[in-house]
Amino acid sequence: MNSYYVCVNKESCTHVKTAIRMNRSFLQYIPKAIAIFTMLSMASCSTYRQAPTREMIQKAGVITDALDSICIEGYNLYVAEYVNWVSSDSLLAHYRMDEIGNNFIWQPTNDKWNVIFMDREQKKCIFEFRYDISTKEQTISYDSRPISETERGLLEKKNLMQKKAIEQYGDSIRYNPDYGRPNFDFVRIDTNTTRMYILQGVERSGIIPFGNDYSVDFDNDCNITAFRRYHRSFIPIPNDGETVYHSHLKDNPYITPTDICNFLLYHGNMKETVVLSTALNGYIIYNVETHTATFITYEMMDTKNDKKP
């Protein structure tokens, strides 16, 4: 089982603050440099008694590359949830529930997201929401129009993917109805892969949901190519502390995209979440302001604690 706890006192927290303010073209090289420096620093301590090896340097790069990719994926998943929230609130300000049919969300490009809501007859678009990640620009239209063939085709594909996932993995998917129903989100991973996430919905305030999270990968023909269960349990954590911690077993070495998404959605005033990685013998710290994740070893964390007054 994964374990979870919250740090509520600044002096007792075991975490690292990240405060890098640089232009984006240079910033992309910083995480790898930090990770490599971390591994080099470890090589000079009494544990190793040797110069840094190629394996140490390569390990640092592998961890950093993995974290960079997960951060991007987690942020995209967060955007999928965010546009669903914002568009639904805008829609309900103008329509009654009995006037609304299905909706679906998709990515025309990597930086753009579209949401449409249809009428009860599924023939017209009655609301459209567009969001640009790079500019944060939002566009809303309440103009009624016919559903395009492209949109209808996308809706049919997503309905098919959801149907296949439930038929094949429904018995393996768990959610806690006391907190909410599951949410289904689709994120384009690359030109050949669409990933459907299944997240524990939360209808209570002040809660960060970790666990009850899954994903199913599909190719362009809606064939299932992979299934993942990210956590083995579900524990809701209050977001009234300063930092929230949870641990991953050896089969789940990194922070997950679902960890990042849920923290971004529900973090309250928290700035960081920390994952204790038993596989990597260290901690992964995700910063909500920089949208970056950093790995530090147990030894580095112990050293940091020893230096505290």
Domain ranges of the chain: 4-306
Buried b (16+ CB within 10 A) or exposed e, 4-37: bebbeeeeebbbeebeeeeeeeeeeebbbebbbe
Alpha carbons within 13 angstroms on the beta-carbon side of residue 122 total 9
Dist CA 43 CA 31 (whole Å): 19
**Residue of 245, 215, 277 lying closest to 66 (CA atoms):** 277
Dist CA 69 CA 282 (whole Å): 19
pLDDT value of residue 15: 34
H runs (alpha helix) in the chain: 24-27, 30-43, 54-92, 149-169, 257-266, 298-306
Residue type, 139: T
pLDDT of 128 > 70? The answer is yes
Identify which has the larger pLDDT, 199 or 235: 199
Query: Which range in 42-56, 68-82, 102-116 is most confidently predicted, on average pLDDT?
Result: 68-82
pLDDT of 211 > 90? The answer is yes
Identify which has the larger pLDDT, 87 or 25: 87
pLDDT value of residue 204: 87
* Tokens, residue 66: 């993995």
Bridge-partner residues for 127, per DSSP?
117
Average pLDDT over every residue of 166-180: 94
pLDDT value of residue 307: 66
Average pLDDT over every residue of 127-139: 94
Q: What does pLDDT average to over the chain?
A: 82
Dist CA 12 CA 19 (whole Å): 20
pLDDT value of residue 299: 85
pLDDT of 165 > 70? The answer is yes
Percent with pLDDT over 90 in the chain? 63
pTM attached to this predicted model: 0.78
Average pLDDT over every residue of 137-147: 94
Dist CA 78 CA 58 (whole Å): 30
First to last CA, the chain: 34
pLDDT of 170 > 60? The answer is yes
Report how far apart, in Å, the C-alpha atoms of 18 and of each of 60, 94, 105, 252, 267 are. 18, 42, 33, 24, 17
